[in-house]
Amino acid sequence: MTSTLQPAVTARGPLDDARTQLREATTILGYDEGLYSMLATPRREVTVSIPLRRDNGDTELLIGHRVQHNFSRGPAKGGLRYSPDVNLDEVRALAMWMTWKCALLDVPYGGAKGGVRIDPRNYSSAELERVTRRYTSEISPLIGPERDIPAPDIGTDENTMAWLMDTYSVQQGHTVLGVATGKPVSLGGSLGRATATSRGVVHVALAALRSRGIDPVGATAAVQGFGKVGSYAARFLAEAGVRVVAVSDQYGAIGSHAGLDIPSVEEHVDTHGSVVGFPAGEEVDDLLTLDVDLLVPAAIEGVVHAGNAEQVRAQVIVEGANGPTTPEADTILQSRGRLVVPDILANAGGVIVSYFEWVQANQAYWWSADEVEARLADRMTTAWDRVTEHAARLDLPLRTAATCLAVERVAQAHLLRGLYP
């Protein structure tokens, strides 16, 4: 079975892609080389060693990173990723995209990202807790509610954030709920945070389909990646009337022309650990090239690339993951008339509700689930309208329009603040 979660084999990486997008935006905006260099380079980054005592008594050394790309508009904000593929350039790229995402959605943060090179599937919960607490201890001088606020990402969850918050709080001598978001609700988390990224993806996906004259009710969709973002996105698309005909994870892909029963797929994954083998679905060789109205890449970077973009048949591609489409693929898809909704717009729901969680924690006053959802929907639709109007006015692809709007907002903040002597 062919996995659909492998990025293209290429010398380029996500940092090259992020800087290519930034270069195009600064050129359009007329910014000089000095401003480009400032925005292309993280303000601060740290690499730490994490000695881990395994449950069997052995000691293992892991490597972790935290990159703060920019904080001209406010404290840095970004997820913490546990993955065997973590490297510093990937974290730098993800931090940069977080800067643009926060600016585009008018959230008063800069961008950050963290990662530990580890495959969490091979470690016990107790071992992952020790990794998290040691990592937090090492980066604690850089984080805090007014400095840098981590959140869950690939391989981490609300338990990770609880451990991080507790470790930081113990060092400070008092409970600091605002140091992390994506926490359990009983520890200052926000209602709606766990599904926020997926809900945001679906809000803009439905708007994107309508913009192409496609009625979402009865439209077909394929969702690549069935983790925290992809599984909920598939569920919410199905609830909106979209026929989800295929889903995939790192082990393979399944499909059904009649549409998959997503709650049943979720139950199968809970039991078997993968979508593979779902009895009411058939094996799919290449989910990315299926003939569907909507494709949602919701896994890792670089899965739509120059080698397969010509075969992508979806009319609308909505990026649930960060950086799933390379610049070369963007050019190919644009030439073929495909609509690509960029990650910094499409998957911004998570950072929006993280911002809501941070606000609630700082005020010690929590909102209802309906309030969170209404405010999230308003932010997403407002950003969609703004980006599409800007793209139409300047005849730009959505990614270029979104990046220009975000970069301009960050650059203005930087220029207004000036350079520290």
**Which tokens go with 50?**
């994490």
Active site residue: 77, 101, 113, 228, which one? 113
Pair 120, 82: CB distance under 8 Å: yes
Instruction: Output Rg (C-alpha) for the chain, integer angstroms.
Output: 20
Give the CA-trace dihedral at 148, 377, 203, 268, to 10 degrees: 70
- Joined tokens for residue 254: 């399944």
CA distance 421 to 246: 56
Alpha-carbon distances, residue 266 vs 269, 286, 350 (angstroms): 5, 21, 21
Which pairing describes strands 252-255 and 282-284: parallel, antiparallel, or unpaired?
antiparallel
- Report CA 168 to chain centroid distance, whole Å: 24
One DSSP character per residue, 179-234 reads G-SS--GGGTPPTT-TTHHHHHHHHHHHHHHHHTT--STT-EEEEE--SHHHHHHH
Can 113 be counted among the known catalytic residues? yes
User: What is the CA angle 85-87-89, rounded to 5?
Assistant: 130
d(CA 39, CA 96): 8
As annotated, the active-site residues are 113
